[in-house]
Amino acid sequence: MFEFNILHKNKNARTGVFKTPHGKLLTPELAFVATDAEIRAIPKKSINKLTIQYTITNTFHTFTKGLVPAIEQAGGVNDYMEYKNVTATDSGGFQVFSLGFGKIHQVGKIASKEPTITRDHDNLLQITEKGVMFSYDEKLIMFTPELSIAIQKRLGADIIFAFDECTSPLNSHEYTKKAMERTHRWLERCLSAIDYRSSIINDRQSSPSSNRQQALFAIVQGGMFEDLRRESAKFMAKQLVLGFGIGGALGTTKDEVKDVLDWTIPLLPEEKPKHLLGIGQVRDIFESVVRGVDLFDCVIPTREARHRILYTTKGKINVRKYKTVNEVADKNCRCQMCSNNLTIQQLNNLFFLKDPRAYYLATAHNIQFYSDLMKNIREAIATDKFFELKEKYLKFYP
């Protein structure tokens, strides 16, 4: 049911096709974030009219908000969203991290400054071999690899991720190693929980009426430590999974993201797709594609649209700063706002009036920009012009 084919390579950048139950995903591609199985500001009736090839829904949020039964009853995330293309759900690991080290260290995947001390003992979560215990909404929750897989089965997305422990850029080598080894053991439990080995065998024997199939991706961890990243990549490379996520702490500077990819990707099987989790700035996309990344997901396009930031082929526009400009945001853009000649000033007026159309138009515009960006990348790789395209974009996205 799933098959990944690389169509063309321009050095290590590659373009390919990932066949899924919801059609072909052309790569490289970015997933737009549908946190609660809904892309904010985009009504259901509009989702298929936009150029959205790939979405990712948060396992942790749908679970803690009690949405899983309704999504399952609808027939899975695709039916619930009335969306026809490829879907993914994340493992929940990153959201759990955000409640622990992420919260107390006040960091994300990339720490904003060089850590002066490592801090391993101030986690707000209780992480044991069994899973992660935390309190949420005054309830005590035990999140385990089995629970993550059980929820993701019920959500029924095409691509699902194994439950991992996401470490902080401020964690020590010792702690990161322990967490990575735990993630490796948790992968074994995810594989058993999904009964993945037998489903792959069934698939080979081609049973068309078999249950919905999902592609499990394993997540490489190891923080910002070269030896650990290499060890994790080597371990994951041997597993019976259809693709890989690259997750966790990605360093303290943007350059360290490149290092993590340089250590990891050459050790993973070339013929399987790789998804860099939670990264989506224009520059980072180019620097990752050039290293062999196929898939991304990021809240940037949709979240920034709601904060009045528009992405254009000439760089980012802050609508608040340009509110008197009586011009279209991007003349080359085919979104509803730009193709109807709605100007930045007019958009700002809609925002000022809190008109819901403002949020929709800005979000749809950024979705169009990112879809075009990824399409341009695919076409440039196919015609050996990736590096020229990279230079062109990076002039406006330094």
Residues that bind Zn ion (CB under 5 A): 333, 335, 338, 365
How far apart (Å, rounded) are the C-alpha atoms in residues 9 and 231?
A: 27
Residue 322 · residue 314 · CB < 8 Å:
no
Q: Residue 251: which region, alpha, beta or left (left: phi > 0; alpha: psi -120 to 50)?
A: left
Annotated catalytic residue: which of 158, 164, 297, 330?
A: 297
Give least dist CB 230 to Zn ion, A: 42
How far apart (Å, rounded) are the C-alpha atoms in residues 73 and 317?
A: 41
How far apart (Å, rounded) are the C-alpha atoms in residues 369 and 373?
A: 6
Give least dist CB 328 to Zn ion, A: 8
How far apart (Å, rounded) are the C-alpha atoms in residues 270 and 6?
A: 9
Active site residue 90: yes
Of 272 and 365, which has the nearer Cβ to Zn ion?
Answer: 365
Burial (Cβ within 10 Å: 0-12, 13-18, ≥19) of residue 208: exposed
Question: Containing H/E element for 303?
Answer: helix 300-306
Of 123 and 366, which has the nearer Cβ to Zn ion?
Answer: 366
Give least dist CB 335 to Zn ion, A: 3
Burial (Cβ within 10 Å: 0-12, 13-18, ≥19) of residue 117: exposed
Give least dist CB 378 to Zn ion, A: 20
Residue 158 · residue 88 · CB < 8 Å:
yes
Of 182 and 365, which has the nearer Cβ to Zn ion?
Answer: 365
Of 224 and 333, which has the nearer Cβ to Zn ion?
Answer: 333
Give least dist CB 121 to Zn ion, A: 49
Q: In this structure, what is the dihedral angle of CA atoms 370, 245, 164, 80, given to the nearest 10 degrees?
A: 50
How far apart (Å, rounded) are the C-alpha atoms in residues 103 and 305?
A: 25
Active site residue 195: no
Of 62 and 348, which has the nearer Cβ to Zn ion?
Answer: 348
Catalytic residues: 90, 297
